Chains A and B, each alone.
Chain A
Amino acid sequence: AQSVTQLGSHVSVSEGALVLLRCNYSSSVPPYLFWYVQYPNQGLQLLLKYTSAATLVKGINGFEAEFKKSETSFHLTKPSAHMSDAAEYFCAVSGNTGFQKLVFGTGTRLLVSP
């Protein structure tokens, strides 16, 4: 079984500041890990995914995440926040074998102030 915990339902940063959104996972098998972004009245858009290749994964819009097995973490970062980054972010996990389904966390709302 898989589960995800996202620490912090809301994160506030200033424009130009570092963005750090936290995700810890639990999985009984080696995981695949994903970050999605959801803008108001839109569906989920894939930012990046870890599928057991490189542990540092680069995604779209300047985001990246690092898979740390020892810490069971997959935190999302961006060096400099932009106003357009304000949205809801979801971390998700799946197993890497058998039937794979996404198990999502509860989400973190990123607020960016000028």
Chain B
Amino acid sequence: EAQVTQNPRYLITVTGKKLTVTCSQNMNHEYMSWYRQDPGLGLRQIYYSMNVEVTDKGDVPEGYKVSRKEKRNFPLILESPSPNQTSLYFCASRLHRDQPQHFGDGTRLSIL
């Protein structure tokens, strides 16, 4: 089944404790993105990747890192999480720019 898989689905952690949210897609898609969704603000793009080893900033990249060492994986790294990064996070992928995005089920992060 074609899908985008995020892990973990839920995480409660404390300020400053490094964490990684994994994202994997099995559709051989070139393009991948991370978004955060906050009430009243819709989805905002954090980082995107157009190919292996090619990543760039989206709208709200501060406090986040990503890597794209393989086509299928695009982890989101919070080196020193802070409470303002408490949010619902989505990973998405698409084959080409003129194709729709496929979304994962989301990761709900709470930073205390």
Q: Do A and B interact?
A: no
- Residues in A lying within 8 Å of B, measured CB to CB: none
